[in-house]
Chains A and B, each alone.
Chain A
Amino acid sequence: MKVNEIVKVLEATVITEIDSDGLEIYSACGADLMSDVMAFVKDNVVLLTGLINPQVVRTAEMMDIKVIVFVRGKSPTQEIIDLAIEKGITILTTKYSMFISCGKLYGAGVTGRGVCC
């Protein structure tokens, strides 16, 4: 699924968008615990979280995650936005809860599974 389709499915607001035209998302990881995200290994992942702090962007950077969705209508701070731009990470926000957001993406075809090694 392309990032612009994720925007439509989640009725999301684009906060930062960086070179995502060629990016195809196969899997989603919903978590507020960043160490759990790092135990989840999969390429072409969108990270959904309700956690708002710069370490979300750092975690995405380490995991080569290019798209973050902040759920439950949460807004990232300017520090988070600046860091995401620096790291080349797209940030979206959606009014939907984590559960509904994951369900909508799964229903729309983002069904790839993570691999815990």
Chain B
Amino acid sequence: MTEGCLELNYDIPANDFLHAGEASSSVKKMLNQLGVDPDKVKKTAISMYEAEINAVIHADGGAAHIEIWKDKVVIKICDKGPGIPNVELAMQEGYTTAPDHVRDMGFGAGMGLPNMKRYADSLDIDTAVGKGTTVTITVFLK
């Protein structure tokens, strides 16, 4: 535990569409309990949820590490998936590499990363092909 910071950790199970989103749901609940502005809670929840779904879709799950500070929430979603060969392309709305069964679930239409960027105040993508991806989302609370 870092002083002045509440830390939360979650496993993101692979290919589990029933439970995908539970980590984001828990973080949303925690932020609401802490009395965070509802608009900031929504921004955090949506961007984290998209990242969590991406880890399930593309990377056989992963891990989420969340730091809640007085003035910001920092979310790191790490996976050991295939990595993103071209981040610039992946950031374009509509670009997708998701298989059909993912689109049947209502995702995988190339909106995940754009939605993260839309709602996060800061988005950092650290990726290496064949090694994995870490997405860091920051939402400022002030």
A residues contacting B by CB (< 8 A) are: 32-36, 38-39, 49, 51, 53-56, 58-59, 61-64, 79, 87, 117
Contacts and interface: CB of A to CB of B under 8 A. Distances in A.
Contacts of B114: 39
Contacts of A55: 17, 20-21, 53, 105-107
15 contacts: A33-B106, A33-B111, A35-B106, A35-B109, A35-B115, A38-B50, A39-B114, A55-B53, A58-B25, A59-B49, A61-B25, A62-B24, A62-B25, A63-B46, A64-B38
Contact of B115 (A38, A49, A53, A56): A38
Contact of B111 (A36, A53, A64, A87): A36
A49 B115 CA distance: 20
Given A62-B28, A62-B42, A35 B50 contact: yes
Nearest to A31: B106
Given A34-B106, A35-B115, A64 B42 contact: yes
Majority SS of interface residues in chain A? helix
B45 A34 contact: no
Nearest to B48: A62
A53 B18 CA distance: 8
Nearest to A34: B106
B70 interface: no
Nearest to B38: A64
B131 interface: no
Interface in B46-98: 46, 49-50, 53
Closest 3 CB pairs of A and B: A35-B111, A58-B21, A34-B106
A28 B78 CA distance: 35
B109 A38 contact: no
A62 B46 contact: yes
Contacts of A54: 17-18
A77 to B, nearest CB: 10
A80 to B, nearest CB: 10
Contacts of B42: 62-64
Contacts of A34: 106-107
